[in-house]
Structure 1
């Protein structure tokens, strides 16, 4: 299967031995007790979940490595299971466990490809993309016939802004094995390059390639829903989320998807209830931010502030477990923080480490919030250099163009954002409409 050279990537941040890994973003902590607070939230959520197949796999391979301490392959499978558990629960403490067994495996056999894949997957999940790229390259050099190796490499290349290299890597991967893992990554690449229809087509392939009720299949179905939501097709997005919930009731990512749909439809009470259900089961920062911004859009500042404090607590827990959250933190603090100078330092440093279009968008927005629209404009243009059709990125670019005095570009970007998805955010879509109305009135005088 061949793919046009500019249409290709990553779904989450990895596929290890037992399934897709996860990318976890999080944000800054303020109270000293924040990690404990976040850990309590996760523990409370965990009490609602029964022992599952991943738990059983972890237990089985814990016994294997105890019985055979030099069984490198068992260490590798156990590490992958810990990564899947982190994905299943949102709990980053499993990263440390995965690190320990990956280290144990590589200490016994530095050339074990499966252990290198686990190490690379873990590095991607922690946003340590240069390390992930190195692990992936080592694994590829040892055995270039393993498709999963190319997933690790492509994920890292994408997050480092190496888009041409990522496309070539993904072409190799999908030629070797056109499956859920490769289809979903190609979908993301097409999305980044502005080909939303192509991204939807490829994510549909990923859904078809998965089993009907596995977690990974549920994940890609939700991603399909997210793509449809991004195009403003709320009815089609809802169908995907509801189909996921019919197979896996209370699947948190589908609940959050339904919350976004209900918020876009103006049903804020049901949206809040759905976010609360998702957070009760897995308090991921993206869900908590969604609820906080929903409250903020309703003028419920105190309720929003409580959610943002939980976000900061979660960030400290992620950071304590080796996750580089600086880029995600900078974007969060640009909208909800109070120290523009510190946020700008954070965004510049994060962009230097991972100069992707998403990082350029974040740096542009932070510069705008810090009152530097001229420099912000340069990074906003860079953020859109692939032609991404992302309403939030277009909103950022439009507001930055307005602040820099380019009314025509501002109208164009804000028009694009609202035409793509008129209700892309309960907090920012109204701001986009207000800014566009002002620009149109000024132009008509």
Structure 2
């Protein structure tokens, strides 16, 4: 039996970078690479449950089944549409690096190597591997253009674009492959992630359904569970995610499925259940750092902050994603450890600068940070740019709304906050942001309802924002007693001959999306460029949102 993957494992360094490649310090090799087959088939890259993995079918000339080993396991997982473990991905990278040294014209091997680099960069939060991925994929296309059948390299470029949060480019690559080869299943995970990132939820649902017809089993179930969650269909999402976990066929696939169950429990405001699922994922795959981050969030909600801090420190040292660093900083701030919080925020700024240099779009996390801990005007500018570039997901709408509110532009913020909440996803922070904006505009009734909804959905959705939501709700007080008659304004004085009092005028708090008058800003679909309404899917009551978890807001209402 192979040893379990180590958390600090890194893939071997490519020995043939193209001319002008960025120099990356070589990490220590952890597994001996093996020279295997002379060529791979046409299928080369795919994005699956947790991200991209490499799809490699059997060689027609190789009759015997491959001997069990890390490379064979990575190939088997990819062919099934499953994530590969880190150790197996490492072995596959080493195997392809060794091969292309002596076969530099093997387009399919370059595509496999490039897609594997993109996946490694995503899992390690090391953007230097995205540069390597692009170089390898361009080498693949130079050896065999996409128009001549190299769809694997196009899929790899779509995978890489999604990893960099360039969803518009990912959509282009995915749709190009689909138009030429509509039954190439590897294009559909790329399209699902791209459509969700752009807020094109009806298209994401159609891509999910098509993927389910082409690939059965746990990967398709996982994508379907994600779609149900984004539509706000909690019971369907839970049942489908549980089925995906039950049908998982490898430790990596099982850990990803258990992690998804943990996320769903956390969103329901059930931190104990979430903790159990994350710990089960870590028992299955100790190197699944995303589950360790989820465990830290659950421990925070359970007020086990010392344990949460230990998990966060582990995660941020091995997987320094900006959102994890922000979460740790906010946890420190909630504990009034301001010096430690400032240290994390300084680290976050460094990571964001590195991401910009590497061409990775971390504007969502940066805007969330600036809105609550830095410059709200800068946050507004970041999100306006994202919106204008067709990134119109619920995440972007919510972050733009909160940034506008924090910058003193609550009337315009209302339009975007409404749109985020109306997508159907039950995100406690979305409801909190809308309630806080309504309270600032004097719309006490709707504000009370949305603040109550945020705390009912998840009472501990953020160590900083949840207490603020409770304070805001208390400040609003109880609603007026009595029925509708008691809420009507007194009648205007009238002449004795008048048979009835004039009708009351509409209350400004009767709707959370009321017009602000002729000077009010346009609704989100009128901003930047016209927003195309998504097509209604059968049985769809609202468009889904791509968000799973995010850092809570940290500002006073």
Deviation at 1:201, TM superposition (A): 2.1
Shift of the 321–212 alpha-carbon distance from structure 1 to 2, 3 Å rule, reads same
Who is 2:310 aligned against? Answer: 273
Give me the whole-angstrom Cα distance separating, in 2, the residues matched to 1:120 and 1:443: 55
The structure having more radius of gyration, on CA atoms, is 2
Matches within 5 A, 1:96-245: 96-111=131-146, 112-214=150-252, 216-245=253-282
**TM-aligned CA deviation for residue 107 of structure 1:** 2.1
- Corresponding position of 1:259: 296
> Please, which runs of 5 or more residues in structure 2 have no aligned partner?
1-46, 57-84, 483-557
Q: 2:424 aligns with which of 387, 402, 407?
A: 387
Deviation at 1:437, TM superposition (A): 1.1
Q: Report the alpha carbon displacement of residue 348 of structure 1 after superposing the two structures with TM.
A: 0.6
TM-score (norm 2): 0.69
For residues 39-438 of structure 1, the aligned pairs below 5 Å read 52-111=87-146, 112-214=150-252, 216-249=253-286, 251-337=288-374, 339-353=375-389, 354-438=391-475
Which runs of 5 or more structure 1 residues have no equivalent in the other structure? Answer: 1-9, 20-49
Q: Do the aligned partners of 1:391 and 1:424 also contact (CA within 8 Å) in 2?
A: yes
Q: 1:180 Cα shift?
A: 3.5
**Residues 230 and 17 from structure 1, CA distance in 2 versus in 1: closer, same or farther, beyond 3 angstroms?**
same
Deviation at 1:434, TM superposition (A): 0.7
Shift of 1:80: 1.8
CA distance in 2, matches of 1:250, 1:81: 18
Gap change, CA 1:317 and 1:443, over 3 Å in 2: farther
Aligned-partner Cα distance in 2 for 1:316–1:202: 39
C-alpha distance in 2, partners of 1:209/1:15? 20
- Partner SS for 1:15: strand
- Higher RCO structure (Cα 8 Å, ≥6 apart): 1
Question: Within 2, Cα distance between the matches of 1:13 and 1:257?
Answer: 14
Distance, in Å, in 1 between the alignment partners of 2:265 and 2:464 is 20
Question: Are the structure 2 counterparts of residues 122 and 180 from structure 1 closer, same or farther at C-alpha, using a change threshold of 3 Å?
Answer: farther
Deviates further, 313-322 or 243-252? 243-252
8 Å Cα contact 1:238-1:261 kept in structure 2: yes
Deviations 1:65-114 (A, max 9, x none): 12111111101110121122123322111101110011111222222111
Q: Is the 8 A contact 1:13 1:155 kept in 2?
A: no
CA contact (8 A) 1:16 1:148 kept: no
Aligned partners of 1:105 and 1:261: how far apart in 2?
Answer: 43
Q: Is the 8 A contact 2:254 2:284 kept in 1?
A: no
Question: Which residue of structure 2 aligns with residue 4 of structure 1?
Answer: none
Q: Which residue of 2 aligns with 1:31?
A: none
Write the distance in 2 (CA, Å) between the matches of 1:371 and 1:95.
Answer: 38
Q: Cα deviations across residues 15-35 of structure 1 (Å, max 9, x unaligned)? A: 34259xxxxxxxxxxxxxxxx
1:442 CA drift (Å) = 7.0
For this pair of structures, how many residues does the alignment match?
Answer: 404
Q: Is the 8 A contact 2:275 2:299 kept in 1?
A: no
Give the Å deviation of 1:249: 2.4
CA positional deviation for 1:212 = 4.1
* Counterparts of 2:263 and 2:158, CA distance in 1: 27
